[in-house]
């Protein structure tokens, strides 16, 4: 507010101080409006925090009533080093004895030793065919892999070194990988099928551009067949299927991962076993327990916040920010009512106390582990007690009620939106009142300054007149005295 510092010079009045004190009195309504604005902002922030905590309670309720939670199974194995297991959602509960006779393997070949990886082998072609070797114990035939076609690799001039041949094999997409292994005798070309399983064996036909008639020299040294005994390359590992028994039933697989042997169950074979590994698929009660604990924690966050925001401090004689708020009072009452109303959804349990969930003296929830374990032991009835979506509140599960209630109050037309709209409306009116009050105060201060300027001028003039009259009287007195 503007002040005029020159007033009071002629009259001796402290006009600035007088106007300031008068304006302080005039400004009291504005101060009250500003205090109200601060209180409304604080309350709106507190409502926002409560809304956030209710949102967390809704999320915890959604998680605890979800179909996927109650259909979730967990698989365990008595020998994780030999047989690992995982269960998909909806997998069937059961018990399985798994014994591993053989792991799936890849065919592996090794060439004769060459002086080094840069040694020239020779020109020609190599044809690689994927398939399975037949006949036991003596190999008598080769069956091509279904859907696979032979791949022919040309080895031309400048491509005849062992390392160049390795690179051409790897770039061919023939279903094998080639590496060079160095041992005490020199460099050897190793070829290995990319995938496991009997159908991923392979044979190699090496044809020299100019045949020298010897299988121990030139490109023909890289040929392989399991039939007979004259193959230049040697086989160190045979391509084979995994072999296992599950509950005494023999199974075979091209890979060590068995899927589809039981509903939703995946077994990964890792070691041959002498005794069966016990694999069990059971309901994931720990997941349910964790979600129950998460719900209790979310409920207590809401309950504790309401208690803190509505309590009265006897020392400061000040109530909490939300003390007496109609939304908070209604919310607290309805949350307690949901817990206190019995449910007919389950034929075994009717109250949360039956599974160990009860109120404390402070209005929060606590969990009795023993009773909760008993509830988890009867998962179908526990699911009804918590997650059943009944025709009405009495026939619905407790957590389903919380989910519906939280969804309602948090909705676009719910109690929180209504309360926030009311607070915003009050803040808008308060802001307009402050603007109006500020204009009035500015006008009042201008008026007071004009009035006191006029008074100052008048008093200054009166003081001047008074001084002149006093001077004239003094002169008259002196003149009479001299006569």
Cα dihedral 294→297→303→308 (10° resolution): -140
SS3 90: coil
What tokens were used for 264? 């939703």
pLDDT, residue 438, reads 84
| CA separation, residue 277 to residues 104, 190, 269, 280 (Å) | 18, 35, 11, 10
SS3 226: coil
pLDDT digits (tens, 9 = 90+) for 221-268: 999 999 988 899 999 999 999 999 999 999 999 999 999 887 889 999
**What's the whole-number average pLDDT of the chain?**
89
**Which residues contact residue 22 at a Cβ distance below 8 angstroms, ignoring those fewer than 6 apart?**
448
pLDDT digits (tens, 9 = 90+) for 188-199: 999 999 999 999
Say which residue the tokens 């006779």 belong to.
101
pLDDT above 50 (res 23): yes
Could you tell me the maximum CA-CA distance found in the chain, to the nearest angstrom?
A: 171
| CA separation, residue 94 to residues 76, 279, 283 (Å) | 11, 8, 10
DSSP 374-408: HHHTTHHHHHHHHH---SSSTTS-HHHHHHHHHHH
Cα dihedral 410→412→414→416 (10° resolution): 60
pLDDT, residue 468, reads 63
363 vs 19, more confident: 363
Distance of CA 206 to the CA centre of its chain: 56
142 vs 133: CA distance, rounded Å:
5
What tokens were used for 218? 């030139």
pLDDT above 50 (res 5): no
**Which residues contact residue 52 at a Cβ distance below 8 angstroms, ignoring those fewer than 6 apart?**
none
| CA separation, residue 280 to residues 98, 100, 167, 355, 377 (Å) | 10, 17, 47, 26, 16
The band of 2, judged by pLDDT with boundaries at 50, 70 and 90, is: very low
pLDDT digits (tens, 9 = 90+) for 126-139: 999 999 999 988 99
359 vs 294: CA distance, rounded Å:
16
pLDDT above 90 (res 63): yes
pLDDT digits (tens, 9 = 90+) for 312-331: 887 877 888 888 888 899 99
| DSSP percent split of the chain into helix, strand, coil, nearest 5 | 45, 25, 30
Omega prior to 2 cis, within 30 of 0: no
The band of 390, judged by pLDDT with boundaries at 50, 70 and 90, is: very high
What tokens were used for 242? 């995994």
DSSP 45-76: HHHHHHHHHHHHHHHHHHHHH-HHHHT-EEEE
The H or E element containing residue 18 is helix 15-26
High-pLDDT (> 90) share of the chain, %: 64
pLDDT digits (tens, 9 = 90+) for 338-357: 999 999 999 999 999 999 99
pLDDT, residue 279, reads 95
Mean pLDDT of 430-450: 81
Whose CA is closest to 61, among 386, 356, 376, 394? 386
The band of 106, judged by pLDDT with boundaries at 50, 70 and 90, is: very high
Whether 54 and 411 have beta carbons less than 8 Å apart is answered as no
The band of 44, judged by pLDDT with boundaries at 50, 70 and 90, is: confident
Q: Give me the residues paired with residue 83 across strands.
A: 269
pLDDT digits (tens, 9 = 90+) for 409-438: 999 888 888 888 888 888 888 888 888 888
461 vs 96, more confident: 96
Whether 193 and 106 have beta carbons less than 8 Å apart is answered as yes
SS3 287: helix
Among 303-307, 381-385, 452-456, the range scoring the smallest mean pLDDT is 452-456
164 vs 167: CA distance, rounded Å:
5
Q: Helix 15-26 to helix 415-482 angle, to the nearest 10 degrees? A: 150
Whose CA is closest to 288, among 127, 72, 83, 11? 72
Mean pLDDT of 456-482: 66
The structure's pTM equals: 0.69
Phi and psi based region of residue 246 (left: phi greater than 0; alpha: psi -120 to 50; beta: remaining): beta
pLDDT, residue 445, reads 75
pLDDT digits (tens, 9 = 90+) for 392-411: 999 999 999 999 999 999 99
pLDDT, residue 30, reads 77
pLDDT, residue 483, reads 57
Distance of CA 184 to the CA centre of its chain: 54
The band of 204, judged by pLDDT with boundaries at 50, 70 and 90, is: very high
13 vs 96, more confident: 96
96 vs 77: CA distance, rounded Å:
9
């Amino acid at each position: 507010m503007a002040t005029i510092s020159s007033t009071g010079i002629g009259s001796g009045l402290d006009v600035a101080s007088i106007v300031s004190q008068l304006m302080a009195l005039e400004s009291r309504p504005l101060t009250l409006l500003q205090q109200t604005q601060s209180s409304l902002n604080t309350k709106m922030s507190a409502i926002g925090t409560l809304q956030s905590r209710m949102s967390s309670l809704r999320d915890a309720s959604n998680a605890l009533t979800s179909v996927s939670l109650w259909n979730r199974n967990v698989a365990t194995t008595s020998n994780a080093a030999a047989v690992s297991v995982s269960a998909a959602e909806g997998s069937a509960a059961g018990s399985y004895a798994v014994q591993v006779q053989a792991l799936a393997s890849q065919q592996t070949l090794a060439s004769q030793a060459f002086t080094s990886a840069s040694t020239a082998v020779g020109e020609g072609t190599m044809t690689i065919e994927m398939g399975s070797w037949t006949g036991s114990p003596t190999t008598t035939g080769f069956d091509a892999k279904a859907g696979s076609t032979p791949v022919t690799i040309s080895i031309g001039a400048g491509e005849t070194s062992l390392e160049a041949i390795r690179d051409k094999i790897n770039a061919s997409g023939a279903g094998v990988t080639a590496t060079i292994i160095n041992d005490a005798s020199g460099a050897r070309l190793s070829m290995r099928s990319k995938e496991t399983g009997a159908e991923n064996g392979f044979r190699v036909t090496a044809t020299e551009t100019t045949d020298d008639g010897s299988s121990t020299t030139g490109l023909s040294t890289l040929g392989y067949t399991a039939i007979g005994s004259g193959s230049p390359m040697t086989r160190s590992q045979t391509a084979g299927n995994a072999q296992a028994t599950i509950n005494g039933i023999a199974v075979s697989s091209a890979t060590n991962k068995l899927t589809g042997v039981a509903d939703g169950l995946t077994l990964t074979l890792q070691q041959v076993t002498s005794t069966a590994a016990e694999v069990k698929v059971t309901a994931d009660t720990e997941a349910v327990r964790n979600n129950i604990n998460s719900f209790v924690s979310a409920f207590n966050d809401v309950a504790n916040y309401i208690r803190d925001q509505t309590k009265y401090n006897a020392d400061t004689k000040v109530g909490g920010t939300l003390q007496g708020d109609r939304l908070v009072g209604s919310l607290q009452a309805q949350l307690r009512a949901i817990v206190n109303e019995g449910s007919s959804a389950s034929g075994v349990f009717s109250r949360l106390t039956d599974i160990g969930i009860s109120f404390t003296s402070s209005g929060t929830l606590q969990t009795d582990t023993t009773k909760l374990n008993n509830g988890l032991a009867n998962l179908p009835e526990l699911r009804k007690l918590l997650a059943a979506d009944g025709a009405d509140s009495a026939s619905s599960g407790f957590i389903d009620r919380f989910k519906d209630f939280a969804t309602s109050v948090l909705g676009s037309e719910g109690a929180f939106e209504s309360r926030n709209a009311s607070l915003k409306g009050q803040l808008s009116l308060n802001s307009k009142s402050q603007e109006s009050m500020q204009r009035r105060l500015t006008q009042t201060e201008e008026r007071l300054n004009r009035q006191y300027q006029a008074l100052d001028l008048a008093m200054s003039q009166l003081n001047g007149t008074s001084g002149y009259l006093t001077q004239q009287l003094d002169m008259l007195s002196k003149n009479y005295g001299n006569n």
